[in-house]
Amino acid sequence: MGIARRIALLFRVKANKTLDRAEDPREVLDYSYQRQVEMLAKVRRSLADVATSRKRVELQIGQARQSTERLQDQAVQALGMGKEDLAREALTRRSSALSQIDQLQPQAEALQAEEDKLTVAAQRLQGKVEAFRTRKETIKATYTAAEAQTKIGEAVSGISEEMGDVGLAMQRAEDKTAQMSSRAQALDELMASGALDDAALPVGQQDDIQAALEQSRGGQPTIDSQLAQLRAQLPSASPPAQLETGTPTTREGDEST
């Protein structure tokens, strides 16, 4: 198979698949029914035209017959009055009218036969159109029910395209939520361990707050407790001499006079 034929075949296959996906059987049925109704309307118009033509021919035949009867009476009256030439003229015209009737009668019969055929065809087509309409509505209702059932089944099973997109979006949301939760927990652990300082506060204020918290927990000893521990570690000694003050001390042996 040549490249051109393969490309043409591939194009037809793709186009067929595309049309099959885009085609709605309900729309096709409605279109087919509309076409049949239009065809029935054309048959009825043709039947009306044939009936009109037949009626026109029959009217001409009726007028010709009336004319022949009138001309027959005129010919009799002319002969009674002794006017043979008028009687002859009346009979000549009557003969023409009879010839016209003979020509119109087959046309009327042919139109009548055509009208009968069209009447039968219109009745048959009317029956087919009505049967097609009933079947069409049944098929459309069945297709609509099957489509709804299919969509419900796809929604319940989660295999439809819309539900698949919803599932993917939900999975992405869960992944992002888990990632943010892990990040928040990691930041809390780093903040608690002191690896990260609170950037919202100045450094000095951070140290003061931390010292106050540790002091309240008893984690950091105070200055007084540290001095007490140091005194306890020193050896026993005489108390330190009293520091000189503004009042002189009285020496032993010196007495005031």
When the pLDDT of each residue in the chain is averaged and rounded to a whole number, the result is 77
> What is d(CA 168, CA 177) in angstroms, rounded to the nearest whole number?
14
* pLDDT surpassing 80 at residue 28: yes
- Terminal Cα-to-Cα distance of the chain (whole angstroms): 149
| Euclidean distance between CA atoms 141 and 170, whole angstroms | 35
Q: Which CATH architecture has domain 3-157?
A: Orthogonal Bundle (1.10)
Integer Cα distance of 59 and 107 in angstroms: 12
Q: pLDDT band at 105, cuts 50/70/90? A: very high
Residues whose CB falls within 8 Å of the CB of residue 91, separated by 6 or more in sequence, listed in order: 71, 72, 75
Return the pLDDT at 168: 73
Contact 75/91 with Cβ under 8 angstroms? yes
Confidence (pLDDT) at 193: 73
Is pLDDT above 90 for 252? no
DSSP string, 18-44: HHHHH--HHHHHHHHHHHHHHHHHHHH
Give the number of other CB atoms < 10 A from CB of residue 197: 13
pTM for this prediction: 0.49
* Crossing angle (nearest 10°) for helices 84-157 and 25-80: 170
Which of the pair, 105 or 204, is modelled with greater confidence?
105
Query: Which among 122, 129, 106 has a CA at the least distance from the CA of 46?
Result: 122
Average pLDDT over residues 201-214: 55
